[in-house]
Structure 1
Amino acid sequence: MTQIPFAAIRDWIFRDALPFWAEHGVDREHGGFLEELSHSGAPTACDFKRVRVQARQIYGFSHAAMLGWAPGAAMAKLGYDYLVAHARQPDGSWAKSLSRDGSAIDPTPDLYDLAFVIFAMAWRYRASGDAEALAHAYATLDYIQRSMRAPNGGFVSKLPDDGVLLQNPHMHLTEACLAAFEASGDQRFLDQARELIGLFKSKLFDGVTLGERFGPDWTRLDSEAGRVLEPGHHFEWPWILAQHQRLTGESVAGYPEALIAFGERFGLDERSRAVFDTVWDDGAVLQGASRAWTNTERIKGWLALYELTGRDPRAQVAESVNLLFDRYFAGSKPGLWVDRFDRDGAPMAEAVPASIVYHLLLAFTEVLRLEPKLSAL
């Protein structure tokens, strides 16, 4: 069996990625974090900054600080100060995107971005004890609950509502509320997470497949868009469900197994073992491309299944970790990667998106957290 490269993971995080993004991923002219870098590590001509990316980088550097990487605290504060100064809106929401100079170019309240604001604030509070960050998490949840409730459960995806309900923002809001509960101990965050997991069980997941796009009554869209599924999310939800069980003791038995079963059967390229970006709801391959993040979620999904059931995850974890090193990282500057490949293994990405540091860091730190147990199997 191929081995999990624990030492290479540790080196990539602390020697390569964190120092590189701390040096090159900051907008030295206008503040905050850059949206993307070129494959040489230079800023691109990208003229916007998504709030979700600012939030994800705040998470990453906060987590790094908690793991003992000393520059992480200052980097997280840099991002936090910038986000609060430029993205916070008078009504309590947060802009969706900013210009390079920090002005709001899309002030749309977007559930996905708001979820990551809560996630960032939870990790900022956990790492620093900054009470203002926790206050922002509360205020953001206030706004979501007050202004974005959908008539038939869950939340609208953005304001104004376009009538399409989305799975993905609900998944990340669940993740964020669990992180905020762990950081604060406040039952309010856990109550919201419980509500969202109930939505997952009753509407989002049908026992076999996880839907992505729904109408106002939470039936899947009766169109091609409603048939498109993302295998990466079939691996990502199991990790979130495992966090819920860890924090509450409430069993999620059966759901992670079923989600991962679909992902393994229909979401993997038989040749490369990469996780497809999208498939049809009958499992047929839609395009065959694979981004880096879908493979990080397979890692997390199998680690979650191990903690929930004891099932040995080493083969699947090693396969996906080594794929990231051998395909996505190979030939790139240390700390960078090629973000997307087609089914024939040809690179498709013109830039390196900062948003994926979150996926890589979270998956790799989970591997390292479980290293003693996995090494003992």
Structure 2
Amino acid sequence: MTETPTTSPLPALWSNRSYHRKWLLKQADGLFDFFQAPSLNPKGGFYDLNRQGAPLATDNPLRGIHASARMVHCFAIGDLLGRPGSADMVDHGMSFLWNRHRDPQNGGYFWQVDDTGAADSSKQGYGHAFVLLAASSAKVVGHPLADAMLADITDVLDTKFWEPAHGAIAEEFSADWQPIPGYRGQNSNMHLTEALMAAFEATGERHYLDKAESIADLLINRRARDEAFRVAEHFNEQWTVDRSYYHPNEMFRPAGTTPGHWLEWARLVLQLWVLGGKRHDWMPEAARGLFFQSMSLGWDKEKGGFFYTLDWANVPDKTSKLWWPLCEGAAAAHFLNAHSPSDFHEESYRRIWSFIASHSLDRTFGGWHEELTEDLQPANSLFPGKGDIYHALQACLIPLFPADGSLTKMISETGGTL
């Protein structure tokens, strides 16, 4: 099932080549250029952008908490790199999270807000995970709100979302913390794992890492291992896989399995393995298995790109080719090249970046196409425009730094030397 690592991958990894590194940095600069000025909403928060790089809507647009928090995280990275104007973007986003997304009456953070207040007042684990990521990244750059937000979001996650009996978080509550029953999801817990590692790196507090290891053990070492290292997305409240789950929101809860998340977990478990002192032998094994299954089952061997979802018989279901699985695949391959080197991992790294260069970069307007049809034509069936810098920016920058932690940690430790 898994690819056997070798001690000598293809000569001269792309990530070590000067030209490739300059090319990646150029792509990162292009993403910063595309998003930095046009996305800033003077009334607070950030605009989602259309293909041309203009706001999709300027008349009281909705702002999702995950998008607000991701912008803080990404421009904290820009600030660490020394990109002018990034600190202002972090400050703008932190103020919006603290003063507009945060619920001063009941605690927690609203899922969506507009100019007038909460448009969707639900409290969702996915959104709260990204608040923790934003607060952690803001702490690394010394933002004055970071400590207060970090303490606040940590308390909310500990007292409202965390379920000690399972070692993971619940999914969703109403504004006044009434539980929304019947569902547990891996996506929110996966992103919380990323955020918990960032919080550990920013603070040195072990309890964050302990929770990250608990989630990974449940979802990957146990549940994904039971599924031949395919990551199940949907569960009941006892964390039993729900294979028949369907939700109309296919952006966040698509039916079946999502190979892009297998790739994302491959990187995250390797990062977790390093941060935890390389104590858990199952982690590199799982990372290799997850990556191998993604490339074997999820990659379109005829046209290229990753299918968005598969059914439980491994047949492509939603056949759109989205940008974010490509991003996660490139980042995972970089981590695997560092910790389980093999020709397969380097060949996959090159294949993914070659596909991105040929099909995902929008050479007319800038930014990346967030969605392609199965036949690789730009589309907007799931994503209305270009609303996200987070996945693509990290994909461009992760290979430029050691595969030993998050970007904020690695940039800080290396002084941003590229």
1:331-342 to structure 2, matched below 5 A, reads: 331-334=363-366, 336-342=367-373
Q: Deviations over 1:215-241 (max 9, x none)?
A: 112111141549600000110001111
Take 1:193 and 1:281, find their aligned partners in 2: how far apart are those partners? Answer: 27
* CA distance, structure 2, for counterparts of residue 370 and residue 146 of structure 1: 35
Alignment partner, residue 367 of structure 1: 399
Aligned partner of 2:352: which letter? S
**Structure 2 CA distance for partners of 1:340 and 1:222, relative to 1, 3 Å:** closer
- Cα shift readout 1:19-45 (whole Å, capped 9, x = no counterpart): 2211111113x12111x2111211113
The one of 294, 298, 302 equivalent to 2:329 is: 298
Alpha-carbon shift at residue 73 of structure 1 (Å): 1.4
In structure 2, give the amino acid aligned to 1:184.
T
Give, in angstroms, the shift of residue 150 of structure 1: 4.2
- What SS does the corresponding residue of 2:119 show, helix, strand or coil? strand
Please report how far the alpha carbon of residue 152 of structure 1 lies from its aligned counterpart in structure 2 after TM superposition: 4.7
What residue is the counterpart of 2:268 in the other structure?
A: 240
Cα distance in 2, alignment partners of residues 263 and 57 from structure 1: 28
Could you say which residue in structure 2 is the equivalent of 1:190? 209
Q: Deviation per CA, 1:87-145, whole angstroms, max 9, x where unpaired?
A: 1112330010111x151111111000000000011001112x23531331232121122
TM-score, normalised via structure 1 length = 0.90
Q: Distance in 2 between matches of 1:197 and 1:230?
A: 17
**Alignment partner of 1:148 out of 143, 157, 161:** 161
Structure 1 residues 222 and 13: alpha-carbon distance in aligned structure 2, compared to 1, 3 A threshold: closer
Identify which of 353, 358, 372 aligns with 2:386.
353
Identify the residue that residue 4 of structure 2 maps to in structure 1. Answer: none
Query: In 2, are the aligned partners of 1:290 and 1:340 still within 8 Å (CA)?
Result: yes
Q: Which residue of 2 aligns with 1:61?
A: 75
Q: Is the 8 A contact 1:268 1:274 kept in 2?
A: yes
Indicate the larger mover: 104-113 or 346-355. Answer: 346-355
Q: Which amino acid aligns with 2:294?
A: G
- What is the one-letter code of the residue matched to 2:138? R
Cross-structure match for 1:130: 143
- Letter of the 1:310 counterpart: P
For residues 201 and 245 of structure 2, the distance between their equivalents in structure 1, rounded to whole angstroms, comes to 39
Q: Quick one: distance in 2 between partners of 1:224 and 1:142?
A: 31
Structure 2 Cα separation of the partners of residues 166 and 120 of structure 1: 21
1:12-161 matches, within 5 Å, as 12-14=27-29, 16-28=30-42, 30-34=43-47, 36-45=48-57, 47-90=61-104, 91-99=106-114, 101=115, 103-127=117-141, 129-130=142-143, 132-150=145-163, 152-153=165-166, 154-159=168-173, 160-161=179-180
Distance (whole Å) between structure 2 residues aligned to residue 177 and residue 18 of structure 1: 25
Alpha-carbon contact 1:232-1:298 (below 8 Å) kept? yes
2:242 is aligned with 1:221:
yes
Decide whether the 8 Å contact of 1:275 with 1:290 is kept in 2.
Answer: yes
Distance in 1 between the 2:379 and 2:260 partners? 18
Where does structure 1 differ by over 6 angstroms across 4 or more consecutive aligned residues?
none
1:309 to 311, 335, 340: 340
DSSP-derived class of the 1:9 partner: helix
Could you say which residue in structure 1 is the equivalent of 2:360? 328
Q: Which region of structure 1 is more displaced relative to structure 2, 336-345 or 322-331?
A: 322-331
For the 8 Å contact 1:152–1:217, the answer to whether it is kept is no
Kept in 2, the 8 Å contact 1:93–1:140? The answer is yes
Distance of 1:324 and 1:266 partners within structure 2:
19
- Whole-angstrom distance in 2 between the partners of 1:203 and 1:136: 32
SS at match of 2:63: strand
1:191-211 deviation digits (Å, cap 9, x = unpaired) = 221221222223354243110
Instruction: Tell me the TM-score normalised to structure 2 length.
Output: 0.82
Deviation at 1:341, TM superposition (A): 0.9
Q: 2 CA distance for matches of 1:155 and 1:123?
A: 21
Q: Distance in 2 between the 1:102 and 1:363 partners?
A: 35
Query: How many matched pairs?
Result: 364
For 1:219 and 1:203, how far apart are their aligned partners in 2?
A: 9
Equivalent position amino acid for 2:351 in 1: E
CA distance in structure 2 between the aligned counterparts of 1:202 and 1:286, rounded to whole angstroms: 25
In the alignment, the residues of structure 2 paired with residue 224 and residue 156 of structure 1 have an alpha-carbon distance, to the nearest angstrom, of: 17
In 2: Cα distance, 1:262 partner to 1:222 partner: 19
Return the alpha-carbon distance in structure 2 between the equivalents of residues 109 and 204 of structure 1. Answer: 27
Query: Which SS does the other structure have where 1:228 is aligned?
Result: coil
Q: Deviations over 1:166-192 (max 9, x none)?
A: 001001111100001001111121122
**Which residue of the other structure, out of 306, 327, 336, is the alignment partner of 1:275?**
306
Go from structure 1 to structure 2 and tell me whether the alpha carbon gap of 1:81 and 1:227 turns closer, same or farther (over 3 Å shift): closer
Structure 2: gaps spanning 5 or more residues: 1-9, 174-178, 247-253, 404-418
Unaligned runs of 5+ in 1: 372-377
Helix, strand or coil at the partner of 1:208: coil
> Relative to structure 1, is the Cα distance of residues 106 and 369 closer, same or farther in structure 2, using a 3 angstrom cutoff?
same
* CA contact 1:86–1:102 (8 Å) conserved in 2: no
Q: Are 2:206 and 1:178 equivalent residues in the alignment?
A: no
1:21 aligned partner, one-letter code: F
C-alpha contact 1:119 1:179 (8 A) present in aligned 2? yes
- Among the aligned pairs, what percent are the same residue? 23
